[in-house]
Amino acid sequence: MSAGLFAVILAFSAPAFAQDAGGGAAPAPATPPLASVLPPNAPPTFADLAEKQLDAVVFISTTQAPPPGGPQAGPRGPELPGFPPGSPFEEFFREFRDRQRGQPQQQQQPAPRPTAALGSGFIIDPAGFVVTNSHVVSEAAEISVTMHDGTKLPAKLVGVDGPTDLAVLKVDSKKPLVSAPWGDSEALRVGDWVVAIGNPFGLGGSVTAGILSARQRDIQQGPYDDYLQTDASINRGNSGGPLYNLNGEVIGINTAIYSPTGGSVGIGFAIPSSVARPVVEQLRDHGQVRRGWLGVQVQSVTPDIAESLGMQEPAGALVTSVSPEGPAGKGGVRQGDVITRFNGESIEQMRELPRVVAATKIGSAVPLELVREGKAETVTVTVGELEPQEQVALSGSSGTPRPETTIDTKQVLGLTLSQLTPGLRDSFSINPDVEGVVVTEVGDASAASERGIEAGDVIVEAGQEPVKTPEDLNRLVDDARSQGRKTVLMLLSRDGDLRYVPMPIEDRKG
């Protein structure tokens, strides 16, 4: 790490003066008392909270074996006292020391040693259970937990959960341990005070304060994203540390920051306690997490899709495929249904459904409300258990194969379409069980191109009716146009995955 990448910036300001009537300098007005500048109901200090909770927050360090065949190093000199391995301070001051000794930095060959990671955590049980982020302890050969008083203890990994980025550790201590109580993140309001305690840059217990800036943030880190956003300063090393309410209760686990600079810019994210607590309890008790499973693939309902389906508002989760032997398939859920409520909980956005289903008790029979062909219906499903192999990753197109040249095609909505032939199946690697019409060409700058349709996609349905030929699609588009629709909802298959695409209906010309 070069010195230019790490700097301590001090802000200085000269005494302010105002000119009096005679041209002389007069002292600026005195700083108003603290009570007059704090917002109403603001706590005058966070000292009581910090004093009680600092002992519950720990510093976590991990080591990994050095890669084989690493560079051979010359003498390193003595280790720098006071800075943990891997700390930016350690590297910064080592470079300064080497320059003072006249040793060019480019000639230094650091000795291979175990890589180190630094993070935070907090004790949730006096028996020695510690919570942190899974990315702090992933692939660690050794894990150490350092208490606020400097006591360093080896830690055992009890369990990790990648989808929520949570991990539970266990330490054995001869001294009594202070634990942090859980709080209710759902009771927290945007604008409420929050306090973060952690280990930024390996400095040890640091306390920062701010407010809850937003809720339910989706930062595209996993299927269960539901983050709290805060402007309390969170930096590297804060990962896994607690976010408190003013009662000294953990309402979040700091896990990520948004920063173009690598430091805090006032946008930090924490896993809410409503999500973390049940996961942590399962990891502590069983070493793993069991989640509910419905057996459907879903996508968001956009305004265009809602209009295509005759819905008043774009809400719910649109079912793109159903596993026939899954809970939803056995319960009567169909492709094209829009799930609006699950077990009494409203589904306003698609991403809410996986989180709600995952948290439902396995084996329980729950009502599922949906919209089917414009009508509200209710079915009952028995929640299954999600298995790792059932988490199928979406894959994109690997390219655009050249289609056959001796095929009959038809132009519909800027798409060149053809019936499926054995040759086209081979050219575009289309599964034998997929039926519909294949897209052989997409017009440049067309609405279809803007919506991500590619050559090789297969149109399976339009307007929730099957499509067997290009003429079928043309007829269904005309039907939608005659009904005053602005879009027609098409179901596309790509690499075996299904998704709905609302296509604008262009007026016929000529």
Which amino acids are annotated catalytic?
Answer: 135, 165, 239
Rounded-to-integer distance, Cα 26 and Cα 9, Å: 30
3-state SS track over 292-303: EECCEEEEECCH
Instruction: With H, G, I as helix, E, B as strand and everything else as coil, classify residue 304.
Output: helix
Rounded-to-integer distance, Cα 384 and Cα 364, Å: 8
3-state SS track over 124-178: EECCCEEEECHHHHCCCCEEEEECCCCCEEECEEEEEEHHHCEEEEECCCCCCCC
Question: Percent helix, strand, coil in the chain (nearest 5)?
Answer: 20, 30, 45
- Where are the strands (E) in 373-505, listed by range? 375-382, 384-385, 410-412, 415-419, 437-442, 458-462, 465-466, 487-494, 497-504
Phi (first) and psi of residue 342, to 5 degrees: -130, 120
DSSP 8-state symbol, 414: T
CB 300 within 8 A of CB 318: yes
Which tokens hold the place of 191?
Answer: 């604008």
CB 338 within 8 A of CB 319: yes
Q: Considering Cα of 402, then 406, then 407, then 412, what sign does the dihedral take? A: positive
Which tokens hold the place of 379?
Answer: 């079915």
3-state SS track over 68-110: CCCCCCCCCCCCCCCCCCCCHHHHHHHHHHHHHCCCCHHHCCC
Which tokens hold the place of 381?
Answer: 């499903």
CA distances from 11 to 8, 14, 498 (A): 10, 10, 56
List of residues 6+ apart from 283 with CB closer than 8 A: 158, 159, 160, 161, 166, 167, 168, 289
Rounded-to-integer distance, Cα 437 and Cα 418, Å: 6
